[in-house]
Structure 1
Amino acid sequence: MRHANGVDGCRIAFQVQGDGPPLVLLTGQANNHHWWDGVRDDFHTARQTITLDYRGTGDSDAPDHRYSTQGFAEDVIAVLDALAVERADVYGTSMGGRVAQWVAARHPDRVRRLVLGCTSPGGAHSLERDAAVHAGLTDPDPAKARRFLLELMYTPAWLAAHPGPYTVLGDPDMSARAKKRHFVASADHDAWDALTEIVAPTLVVHGDQDVFNPAANAPLLAERIPGAELRMIESARHAYFDEFRAVASPLVLEFLQR
C-alpha cells in the first residue's frame, strides 16, 4: 500500500496497476477503490490505472473536519505528484465525476482527457433525485435500503443473474462520521461556473434509466463543458460501467485513445 500526503498532511492511500499512459479512476461517494474491481482490468490493455481511497475510506486517514469535492480533487493532485505523473486521463463516476470536474477545471495542465460518468454539475442547475428515491435509500430497515440501492444500481435481470458480492455499495469499514462527511461533500458540490473552464476533451456517459443520479443531468454537463461529447447507454442504471461494461469500457477506451 502506498500513500500520498494531502495539503493538510492527510495520508491518501493509492493503488497502481498495469502499464501504459496513466488513467485515474475515481469512485462514488463513500466508496473505496474496490468500486472499480469489476472493470479495472478492461483498461489494462492500453492504460496504467491509478485509484485512490478518498479520505475517510479504505486505507486513507479520516481527519475530523469538513470534506468537499474540491478537497478530494486536491488529494487526486497529491497522488499524481507522489507518482511524478505530470498529466493523466481522468475518469470519474458518480461523486467521482464531481471530483473529476474540479480536477479538470482547477488543474487543466494535469488532465489530458476527461470522462464524466453518471454524475451531475450539482447546485441549483442540477436535477436532484426525487423524494421517493430518497425515502427508499433511508428506509429504517437496512435490508430494504440495501435492496433499494441495488435496484438503483442494476437492472432486475442483472441482479438475478449476479447474486454478488457487490463492490459499489459503499465502504463497509467507514465510520458513520466519515459517511456523513462524504454525503455533505457530494450534496454541497456546485461546479456550474467552473465547467466552462474545462479545456480537456470531455466525454459524458450516463445510463438512460438512471434515477439515482437522474439521467437528465448528462446533457446539462455536455452542454456546459466546451466541446463535450455525450453518450447515453440504453437500459442502464447507475452502475452502467459495471453491468454494461461490454459497451462502456470500449466506449471510454476509444475516446481516450484518439
Structure 2
Amino acid sequence: MAYAAVNGADIYYEVMGEGQPLILVMGLGGNLDWWGTGFRKQLARARQVIAFDNRGAGRTNAPSGPFSIDQMADDVAGLLDALSIERADVFGMSMGGMISQEFALRHGERLNRLVLGCTCCGGSEQIPPTPRAQQLLAQFTRTISADDAMRYQAELLFPSEFIEKHHELLQAAHKMMAQVPMKRSDFLRQFEAIQSWRGTYDRLPTLEHDTLLLHGTEDILLPVQNSEIMHEVLPTSRLIQYEACGHGFAIQAASRVVTDIQHFLSA
C-alpha cells in the first residue's frame, strides 16, 4: 500500500505498467477501485497508469475543513511531485474531469494530453442533471441502505435497458465500488466542492493541450450536451459519444473506451 503526503492529506495511490505516465482522476464519492482492475490493466499495457483516491475518498485521509476543486487539482500536482514525475497525461471522469480541467489550467506545464469523461465546465453554462438524476443524487446525501444504494447508483449510471440485461454485472460492479465505504461527511465535502466550483467556461479557450472528450449519449447525471459545449470552446478538442451509454459509459463500453484513449494518447 503506497501513500504520499500531499497538501496535508495522505493520498493513497497504485501504479501499474511502465512508460509515459497517465494519471486517473475519479469522480464524486469514488476511489481507485471504481476504475476496475481490468480497465487499468488494459491501459497499462502501453504506459504507466497511476490511480489514486481523492481526498476524503477510499483510503485517503484528509484534514478537517471544506474541500474545493482547485485544492484537489493541486493534489494531482502534489502527487506528481511526490512521484518525481515532471509531466503526465491525465484522464478525469465526472468530478474527476472538473479536477482535471483545473489541473490543466493551474498546472499546464505538468500536462501532456488531457482526457475528460462525462464531465462539464460548471458555472451557469453547464447543463444540470435531469430532475430524476437530481432526486437520485440527493439520496446519497442521506443515510440509505446498501440495497437502495445499489439501486440508485445503477439508475444514475446506466440506462434502464442496460440495467435489465446486465443485473449480475451491475451487482459485481457495485460490490467492487463498495469495497472501501466513504464517510457521509466526506461525501458531503466533495459534493459541496462541486456546488461551489466557479467553473471553467471562460478559461477553456486558453487551454492549448490536446483534449479528448468522452460522453455517453444517455447520461442523466451530466447530460452529453455538456461535452458538446466544451467541445465548442476547446480549440484542440475531439469529441467521442457512446450511443446508448449513460454516465457509466466506461463500464458499458470499456473496450472501445480503452482503444479510443490509447489511440488519442499515442497519436
Task: Identify whether the pair has TM-score above 0.5, normalized to the shorter chain.
Answer: yes
Identical aligned residues as a percent: 32
State the distance in 1 between where 2:35 and 2:109 align.
25
State the distance in 1 between where 2:178 and 2:138 align.
14
Q: Which residue of 2 aligns with 1:132?
A: 132
Q: Which residue of 2 aligns with 1:62?
A: 62
Off by >6 Å, runs of 4+ in structure 1 = none
Q: For residues 140-168 of structure 1, what are the alpha-carbon distances to aligned partners after superposition, in whole Å with 9 as ceiling and x for unaligned?
A: 76434531320231222553351422257
Aligned AA for 1:30? G
Q: Which runs of 5+ in 2 are unaligned?
A: none
Q: How many residues align?
A: 257
Q: Which residue of 2 aligns with 1:183?
A: 191
**1:25-40 to 2 correspondences below 5 Å:** 25-37=24-36, 38-40=38-40
Cα distance change of structure 1 residues 29 and 173 upon mapping to structure 2, 3 Å threshold: same
Instruction: Tell me, yes or no, if the aligned pair for 2:163 and 2:170 is still in contact at 8 Å.
Output: no
Cα distance change of structure 1 residues 103 and 62 upon mapping to structure 2, 3 Å threshold: same
Say which SS state the counterpart of residue 39 (structure 1) adopts.
Answer: helix
Instruction: Tell me, yes or no, if the aligned pair for 1:137 and 1:145 is still in contact at 8 Å.
Output: no
TM-score with structure 2 setting the length: 0.90
Give the C-alpha shift of residue 197 in structure 1.
2.5
Say which SS state the counterpart of residue 203 (structure 2) adopts.
Answer: helix
Aligned AA for 1:206? H
Say which SS state the counterpart of residue 64 (structure 2) adopts.
Answer: coil
Say which SS state the counterpart of residue 227 (structure 2) adopts.
Answer: helix
Q: Which residue of 1 aligns with 2:166?
A: 159
Instruction: Tell me, yes or no, if the aligned pair for 1:25 and 1:49 is still in contact at 8 Å.
Output: yes
Cα distance change of structure 1 residues 161 and 13 upon mapping to structure 2, 3 Å threshold: closer
TM-score with structure 1 setting the length: 0.93
Matched, 1:10 2:9: yes
Say which SS state the counterpart of residue 89 (structure 2) adopts.
Answer: strand
Q: Which runs of 5+ in 1 are unaligned?
A: none
Give the C-alpha shift of residue 62 in structure 1.
2.4
Q: Which residue of 2 aligns with 1:223?
A: 232
Cα distance change of structure 1 residues 163 and 228 upon mapping to structure 2, 3 Å threshold: closer
State the distance in 2 between where 1:173 and 1:147 align.
16
**1:68-83 to 2 correspondences below 5 Å:** 68-83=68-83
Give the C-alpha shift of residue 137 in structure 1.
3.4
State the distance in 2 between where 1:205 and 1:132 align.
22
Give the C-alpha shift of residue 176 in structure 1.
1.5
Deviates more, 1:13-22 or 1:129-138: 129-138
Higher helix share: 2
Cα distance change of structure 1 residues 122 and 170 upon mapping to structure 2, 3 Å threshold: farther
Cα distance change of structure 1 residues 186 and 233 upon mapping to structure 2, 3 Å threshold: same
Cα distance change of structure 1 residues 32 and 107 upon mapping to structure 2, 3 Å threshold: same
Cα distance change of structure 1 residues 239 and 175 upon mapping to structure 2, 3 Å threshold: same
Deviates more, 1:226-235 or 1:188-197: 188-197
Deviates more, 1:141-150 or 1:89-98: 141-150
Give the C-alpha shift of residue 171 in structure 1.
7.0
Say which SS state the counterpart of residue 166 (structure 1) adopts.
Answer: helix
- Determine which of 244, 248, 251 is the counterpart of 2:257: 248
